[in-house]
Amino acid sequence: MYPLRRNRRLRTNESMRSLVRETIISPNDFIVPLFVVEGKGVKEEIASMPNYYRLSLDILQKEVKELWKLGLKSVLLFVKVDDKLKDNSGKEALNADGLMQRAIKTVKNAVPEMIVMTDVALDPFSIYGHDGIISEGKVLNDDTNAVLAEMSLSHAMAGADIVAPSDMMDGRIFEIRTLLEDEGFCDTGIMAYSAKYASAFYGPFRDALDSAPVDAKDIPKDKKTYQMDYGNREEAIREALMDIDEGADIVMVKPGLCYLDIVRDIKEVVNVPVAVYQVSGEYAMLKAAAEKGWLDHDAVLLEQVTAIKRAGASMIASYFAKDVAKLIN
């Protein structure tokens, strides 16, 4: 007790604080989300995500080489699909020569050691902007799962190390795992978006991919029939445990900062790595506040990612990954 015990002794200077620090951030903690578009020489800034870009394949090749030099060893790929290729069945998602499949090969050819994760969901390919097939005003669960499994197989055949189903359909992890095993891709990992909440923080991401739900008759106006209600906590644990039982190697909580209680809850009950997605709205808010001079960008950024890891994240998907790596290095 005081004065025999003085906690401030271990806070006297930065060397001392570093010595006893419990949570250490490194580039190894990060997954870098990347947006890919058709074309050549394209580096197109996303208006609602300052200093973040859509990249054509030739620029993607240069980007992943730079990321590797910074110590960032994992990327998560998303594709912006031309409107003329969109439908209600996800046909283009299964194209062996589709943009995603070529992006996977581009990354692997540029940096063979880079871990390539791929988004598995139908919204970038859907004329309706939903993660599944639409029929009679509803998102079909089982029909969608069949397409997601084939999509995952296509990504694995192209060279993906980990497929990342972000759709929130019931049972899709089992369908994907079963097909991968049947086709001999037993080493392909699955990172399940297990606790993906119906959040208002996704707006800039949907701008990046032009994948927001369309405003049309008989089309669900949002994704609340499959993404989780943000008022629920115990449901997140059930979702994570079910995904693990179905074959998930990693489970994810999305978004990040507003859901750190969920991260801790899940971390305490699972025996697999827990990923957290620090989403586009979180990125945009800090960028906007820093631009106004209201927050110290770098100081707040490091505090945020440290908080996410401290809560229990084994890895963090973040648009700030490159910024953090530069700050650390």
Which stretches of the chain are DSSP H helices? 14-20, 57-69, 99-110, 141-158, 172-182, 203-209, 234-246, 260-267, 280-291, 297-311, 321-328
- Report residue 122 as tokens: 């139908």
Residue 285: how many CB atoms within 10 A of its CB?
15
Number of H helices, E strands in the chain: 11, 12
Report how far residue 226's alpha carbon sits from residue 164's, in angstroms, rounded to the nearest whole number.
16
Q: Which of 86, 223, 254, 287 is catalytic?
A: 254
Q: Which of 196, 223, 267, 287 is catalytic?
A: 196
Q: How many CA atoms lie within 13 A of 143 on its CB side?
A: 11
Check the annotation: does 183 bind a ligand.
no
Report how far residue 226's alpha carbon sits from residue 153's, in angstroms, rounded to the nearest whole number.
23
Residue 272: how many CB atoms within 10 A of its CB?
17
To the query of whether residue 196 is one of the catalytic residues in this protein, the response is: yes
Which one, of 78, 60, 70, lies nearest residue 29 by Cα? 70
Annotated binding site for Mg(2+): 239
Report, as residue numbers or ranges, the catalytic residues.
196, 254
Annotated binding site: 239
